[in-house]
C-alpha cells in the first residue's frame, strides 16, 4: 500500500498494490498492520455501502463528537468525485476542500479523518461505493453542509442543476451556518 499526502493535513489517498495477470487481479484493500506501519492507525467498526446512478450527489455529511467518524472510502464499480471539507476550526486549512476521482479502475481510497465533511458525486452510469467507519452512526450527532455552498465552490464534475440530491441534503445549511463542533 502507498499513502499519499494531500494539501490538507491528515487527509490522505491510499493506493493498494495490485497484482494482475491473465485471470484478473488481486489486492489487499485494507490491511491494518500495513497501514499502521505507514502511520494510519484507525480501528474501524462499521462498513457502509451505497449504489447510485449517474448524477447522484451525496453530501456533505459529518457526525459531531463524540460520534465523529473517520471514513475510508473506495469504489467497487464506477467512478465518483470524492470530496472532503476541513471543519477543524484550529486547522490552517479550515474551510478548504479536497477532491479526488475514485474509480473501480484506479482502486484509490480516500481516508477522511474525523473533523471533515464528506460527500461524492457519481460521474459514471452507476457507482457502487463502500466505506469503513471508526464510529457507529448516531442520528443525533449528524450534520451537513449544502453541496452548492458558494463559499466552498466545489467542483463536483457535473452541472449542479442536473444533480440528483436527496430532500434532506437540499435543505442543509451553508458552511458559515453549519453546526460543526470541531
Query: Strand (E) positions, 37-145?
Result: 46-53, 57-63, 71-77, 79-86, 97-103, 109-112, 116-122, 126-133, 142-144
CB atoms within 10 A of CB 172: 22
Residue 33, CB-side half-sphere exposure with 13 Å CA sphere? 0
Catalytic residues: 61, 131
3-state secondary structure of 95: coil
Cα–Cα distance, 36 to 121 (Å, whole number): 30
Cα–Cα distance, 179 to 80 (Å, whole number): 27
Residue 108, Cα to own-chain centre: how many angstroms?
12
Nearest to 61 by CA among 182, 176, 140, 172: 172
Amino acid at each position: 500500500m502507498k499513502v499519499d499526502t494531500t494539501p490538507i493535513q491528515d487527509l490522505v489517498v491510499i493506493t493498494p498494490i495490485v497484482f494482475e495477470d491473465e485471470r484478473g487481479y488481486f489486492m489487499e484493500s485494507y490491511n491494518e498492520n500495513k497501514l499502521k506501519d505507514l502511520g494510519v492507525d484507525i480501528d474501524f467498526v462499521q462498513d457502509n455501502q451505497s449504489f447510485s446512478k449517474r448524477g447522484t450527489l451525496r453530501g456533505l455529511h459529518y457526525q459531531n463528537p463524540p460520534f465523529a467518524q473517520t471514513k475510508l472510502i473506495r469504489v467497487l464499480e464506477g467512478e465518483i468525485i470524492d470530496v472532503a471539507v476541513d471543519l477543524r476550526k484550529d486547522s490552517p486549512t479550515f474551510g478548504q476542500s479536497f477532491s479526488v476521482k475514485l474509480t473501480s479502475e484506479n482502486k484509490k481510497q480516500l481516508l477522511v479523518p474525523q473533523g471533515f465533511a464528506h460527500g461524492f458525486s457519481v460521474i459514471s452510469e452507476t457507482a457502487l461505493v463502500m466505506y469503513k467507519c471508526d464510529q457507529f452512526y448516531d442520528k443525533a450527532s449528524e450534520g451537513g453542509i449544502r453541496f452548492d455552498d458558494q463559499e466552498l465552490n466545489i467542483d463536483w464534475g457535473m452541472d449542479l442543476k442536473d444533480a440528483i440530491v436527496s430532500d434532506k441534503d437540499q435543505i442543509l445549511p451553508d458552511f458559515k451556518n453549519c453546526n460543526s463542533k470541531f
